[in-house]
Structure 1
Amino acid sequence: MRVEIWSDIACPWCYVGKARFEKALRAFPHRDEVEVVHRSFELDPDRARGDVQPVLTMLTRKYGMSTAQAQAGEDDLGAQAAAEGLEYRTTGRDHGNTFDMHRLLHLAGERGRQDELIQLLYRANFAEERSVFTEGEARLVELAEEAGLDAEEARRVLADPAAYADAVRADEREAAELGANGVPFFVLDRTYGVSGAQPAEVFTQALTQAWGERPALKLVEEEEAGACGPDGCAVPPRP
């Protein structure tokens, strides 16, 4: 079974939602048969690469809330993250463009290191004092290497604005086609969708239901042909 997760590194609920989903997946009896794929979704796609703001400033300007309201929201998110065993800095974080991070995540997907990289990006953005936005390419290459990617390959991708750009845009178009207007958005076997950072129990229910409704394999009946099994290989008689 395949689970696709549309998310953005700048999204705190994606950080929390990933932890809740993984809690459910760890307890799922068929967890070793579940493939998880991370898909791209930018919350602020029109933000220029160099436009970095404090999170509280972004929240007050984008949503028209007061600084006190924005801080209260961050404090609540910090408590929600802590309940999942996650570190979360409620002050001093930055907000910026995440397009290059998504491009690197597509590279990581091809190299089998996608989950490692997205977790490191989340940690860097939400838990560490260093800004993943202001330090630019050098910081992203450092995280890519920590995730197990080749540093030079990561640098080449970041130096080429076209590298994996189409893949990011394709993910975003697909999200729109599926009806996702926010993240995190989880799609199980292209049959069930779960929107938001739901409790682990909701993900458990969705995994169980999606697994139980997978179509059974239908065999096409043909005349007997040669095949191999535990007892050896049968040789069909010559006509």
Structure 2
Amino acid sequence: MRVEIWSDIACPWCYIGKARFEQGLAAFAHRDDVEVVHRSFELDPGRTRHDTAPVVEMLAKKYGRTLDEARAMEEHVASTARSEGLTYRTEGRDHGNTFDIHRLLHLARARGRQDQLLDLAYRANFAEERSVFDPEVLVTLAVEAGLDEQEVRDVLADGTAYADAVRADEREAAELGATGVPFFVLDRRYGVSGGQPAEVFTKALEQAWQGRVITPIGTDAAACYADGACEVPQATA
């Protein structure tokens, strides 16, 4: 069985959703027979390659909030991430165009190292003080994932390398009706949208394996959307 996951490295719910999916997959009896493929979805495709900004400032501007309110928004997402055992920094992170990252993820898939690079990129973006929008950081991450340094540099230098693959993924997401990420497609018959709880993923895998005619499972879950906006949990009193 194949599971395809559309995501963007800039999306916190993709970071959280990947961890939850992996927990759900670990509880699935046929997990060794599941192929996972990561596909491209840019949250901010209109942003130029070198246009980066601090995440907190970007959130304040996008949602019309003060910087303190934006920091509180980040802290709520961080709390959710930490509940899944993930490290999440609320300060010092950048936001920018992720096209080059997606191109490298396609190279990594061709070399059998896609999941390794994705994990390293998520960790760098959300847990460490390394900007994934710095080409030299991308080279370092790719080499850590097991890719050849010169091949990585050649891909980054050639803006057309794997560009068609990224665009094809994005067209396919639109054809499938995906307006936000993470978006999970199981055997091209069933979709799960958002960072659902692990048990929802396990149930979806079980139903897809059984070959049943199935309907969407689970309530709406937090996600990031094609206009670059990400849902933000509301503070409790």
For 2:137, the aligned partner's letter is: R
**Alignment partner, residue 190 of structure 2:** 192
Corresponding residue SS for 2:152:
helix
**Alignment partner, residue 29 of structure 2:** 29
User: Are the counterparts in 1 of residues 130 and 137 from structure 2 also a CA contact under 8 Å?
Assistant: no
Q: C-alpha deviations, 1:53-72, integer Å up to 9, x for none? A: 00011111122223232211
**TM-score under structure 1 length normalisation:** 0.87
For 1:196, the aligned partner's letter is: G
CA distance in 1, matches of 2:163, 2:65: 33
For 1:60, the aligned partner's letter is: A
CA distance in 1, matches of 2:41, 2:74: 21
After superposition, the CA RMSD in angstroms is: 1.2
**Alignment partner, residue 176 of structure 2:** 178
Q: Return the offset for 1:132.
A: 2.0
Q: Return the offset for 1:214.
A: 6.8
**Alignment partner, residue 102 of structure 1:** 102
**Alignment partner, residue 217 of structure 2:** none
Q: Any residues of structure 2 matched to 1:218-237 within 5 Å, and which?
A: none
Corresponding residue SS for 1:39:
strand
Gaps of 5+ in 2: 214-237
Gaps of 5+ in 1: 216-239
**Alignment partner, residue 209 of structure 2:** 211
Q: C-alpha deviations, 1:65-123, integer Å up to 9, x for none? A: 23232211110111111111111001121101110000000000011100000000000
CA distance in 1, matches of 2:62, 2:164: 28
**Alignment partner, residue 83 of structure 1:** 83
Q: Return the offset for 1:43.
A: 0.3
For 1:164, the aligned partner's letter is: Y
**Alignment partner, residue 4 of structure 1:** 4
1:73 correspondence with 2:73 = yes
Q: Any residues of structure 2 matched to 1:108-147 within 5 Å, and which?
A: 108-133=108-133, 136-147=134-145
Corresponding residue SS for 1:187:
strand
Identity, in percent, stands at 72
Distance 1:214 1:163, change over 3 A: farther
**TM-score under structure 2 length normalisation:** 0.88
Q: C-alpha deviations, 1:176-221, integer Å up to 9, x for none? A: 1111111000000011100000000110110010001179xxxxxx
Q: Which moved more, 1:166-175 or 1:62-71?
A: 62-71
1:169 correspondence with 2:167 = yes
1:93 correspondence with 2:93 = yes
